[in-house]
Amino acid sequence: MLTYKDRLCCWAIARLLPSEQWIIVARFRSRSDAEGHFKFLRQTIPHVKFEVVFDPSGDSHRLSALGSPSNFVTSRL
């Protein structure tokens, strides 16, 4: 069961791993916070693929890169 605090952070930044899996690297309360951090990561680590995702469940640490579950929404900037 998720705590109230965990349910507040539904926006996340996911990183593509070489094994074709996604891993959540950071969680945020608002989309604008996630997108701001995403832009910072993209500038500082340009060779790594990151995406902003909406994860209302808050409990998924890894996502499939080929077939993301329907409850995830990605935002490519």
CB 49 within 8 A of CB 21: no
37 vs 20: CA distance, rounded Å:
23
When computed from its CA atoms, the radius of gyration of the chain, rounded to whole angstroms, is: 12
Of 32 and 20, the one with more pLDDT: 32
**pLDDT band for position 6 (cuts 50, 70, 90):** low
**pLDDT band for position 7 (cuts 50, 70, 90):** low
3-state secondary structure of 12: strand
Of 31 and 62, the one with more pLDDT: 31
CB 71 within 8 A of CB 55: yes
Tell me the two tokens of residue 68. 């993301």
What's this model's pTM, rounded to 2 decimal places?
0.67
Domain ranges of the chain: 4-75
Q: Whole-number mean pLDDT of the chain?
A: 77
List helix spans (H) across the chain.
4-8, 31-44
Comparing 14-18, 33-37, 48-52, 60-64, which segment has the lowest mean pLDDT? 60-64
